[in-house]
Amino acid sequence: MWDACDFYPEEGIAKLSSMSLIKVGDNHELRMHDQLRDLGREIVREEKWEEPQYRSRLWESEKVLKVLKENKGTEKIKAIYFNKVHHSHFDEPFENFEAEHFKKLTGLRFLDVSGACLRGDFENSMGKLKWLRWWHCPSTFEANNFRLTELVALDLSWSTISR
């Protein structure tokens, strides 16, 4: 993913590790201190406090829902984390997102829509998406023209989708 985004991972990871900002775990997973994560989130929040559609990253469910459901997305948004599975016991119904909710998100590179259902015609949408996490992807796949030509990471864990 980092290579695909031109972030030079070899240099960047070594530099962050030498500054003790991240640790590389036994299985090559990256670990970040909670305070560093919180600092990064605060910096993003300050991008536009009152207007989350102009932030580069969205991770708070209510902000994600507001931006997507009101079609307020912008090219500024690079990452969306809407993981309903992570925050519940998955006994709640799927959140439904329509293709039109993503049309203006032309800069989107990371998307986590775990516990959601995507519907509609996604032609010319998500052209820059590099990473898609969609745990519990429903077996009734209702997204048409869902072509992710630049995708480098796909996580469909615990999904019932068959093709």
How many Å from the N-terminal Cα to the C-terminal Cα in the chain?
24
Q: 67 and 77 in contact (C-beta within 8 Å)?
A: yes
pLDDT digits (tens, 9 = 90+) for 61-107: 999 999 999 999 999 999 999 987 755 555 555 799 999 999 999 99
Buried b (16+ CB within 10 A) or exposed e, 73-97: bbebbbbbbbbbbeeeeeeeebbeb
User: How many H-runs (helices) and E-runs (strands) does the chain carry?
Assistant: 3, 10
Report, as an integer, the average pLDDT of 35-55.
88
CA 148/CA 163 separation, integer angstroms: 15
Output DSSP code: residue 94: P
Q: 58 and 64 in contact (C-beta within 8 Å)?
A: yes
CA 139/CA 161 separation, integer angstroms: 4
pLDDT digits (tens, 9 = 90+) for 25-39: 888 888 888 888 899
CA 1/CA 96 separation, integer angstroms: 27
pLDDT digits (tens, 9 = 90+) for 97-146: 999 999 999 999 999 999 899 999 999 999 999 999 999 888 888 899 99
Cβ-proximal residues to 11 (8 Å cutoff; 6+ apart), any chain: none
SS3 21: coil
